[in-house]
Amino acid sequence: MIYGRGVKVKNNTSNKYLVFGFDMETDIGSTSRNYTGVQHGTLAILKILEKYEVPATFLFTGDCALKNDNIVDMIHKKGYEIGCHSMYHEDLGEPSFHTSSFSPILEEELEHRLRLNIEIMQKLTGSDPISFRSPRGFGSNKLIEVLEKLNFKIDSSYMQAIHLTQHFPYFPARDNWKTAGNSSILELPLFAFDLENVDDNTYQKKLDQWPRIRTHGAEFVYKHMQPVVEEQINTHGICALTFYLHPWEFHPMPEKIQYAEGTLYYDEFLYKNTGDNQIREFDIFLDKCLSNDFTVIDFRGFRKVFEQAQVS
């Protein structure tokens, strides 16, 4: 069964779309080798999605899928879209900010890595993944080239909070993936707030939506996304806000993790309000959006909407 309102767009008069992608990876990105979020937080996510009968896209790293094949099987049998998120949450494109675990992949390695990711998902689900997101949103021209070659249809690696220029889905140019062109890949930018006049300069990136459902609450996110909704509708006739979330946010995360070589202390925004608070606020957020004529849709569903609407 494929859930909900997001697959009933032909009968829906709303022009406001929310696109949810969950990055299925190790706890807190690449800084842990644990999958407690995937093993426990995923169940909380599915419970909320089923409550509201809405779809979402789950983007697995190859390693996560292999070590949590029961989770892959459960998501697949429920009819949710499953996509790819690299092999080990490695850096596949041009870094946009510094990380504690810089692990660049050479361009000539990209195709092999993504083929492995695809083959794992094919083996576990029996279907070909068509949606992708690069870890941390590190994209590149080469990545778009490889995604096209491997028959992906949707990418969601463009970080609006960092690159600032693309505010609406587009087909990238092959010589500059950050601009519009004639690639066959539909790019779903990870939307950012218009917070220039809001006294909120906390956490990772000033304009980014993440992690504010968890750290600031559903009401904050709903209120401050409205100018983006209005601007997109006025410009394009519809709006599409793409969110990125992680199952580890739906399970309590530690403030630090100890390794043989030392102890890593996390910044507050990475563990603050993980677990029950994130579950509650995500539930509130979905309820508020669905009560105000938003349609929740997955990656593959929005590509169909985009093509049928022939938006500019």
Find the CATH number of the domain harbouring 146.
Answer: 3.20.20.370
Contact 139, 158 (CB under 8 A): yes
pLDDT, one tens digit per residue, over 119-168 is 999 999 999 999 999 988 788 999 999 999 999 999 999 999 888 899 99
Which of 220, 186, 16 minimizes the C-alpha distance to 210? 220
Q: How many residues does the chain have?
A: 312
pLDDT at 288 over 60: yes
Number of domains the chain contains = 1
- Give the predicted TM-score (pTM) of the model: 0.92
Identify the residue whose tokens are 């092959």.
174
User: Which domain does 300 fall in, by range?
Assistant: 5-309
pLDDT, one tens digit per residue, over 176-219 is 999 999 999 999 999 998 755 455 555 445 688 999 999 999 99
In this structure, what are the phi and psi dihedrals at residue 203, rounded to the nearest 5 degrees?
70, -160
pLDDT at 100 over 80: no
DSSP state of 171: P
Residue 211: cis peptide before it, omega within 30 degrees of 0? yes
Contact 191, 225 (CB under 8 A): yes
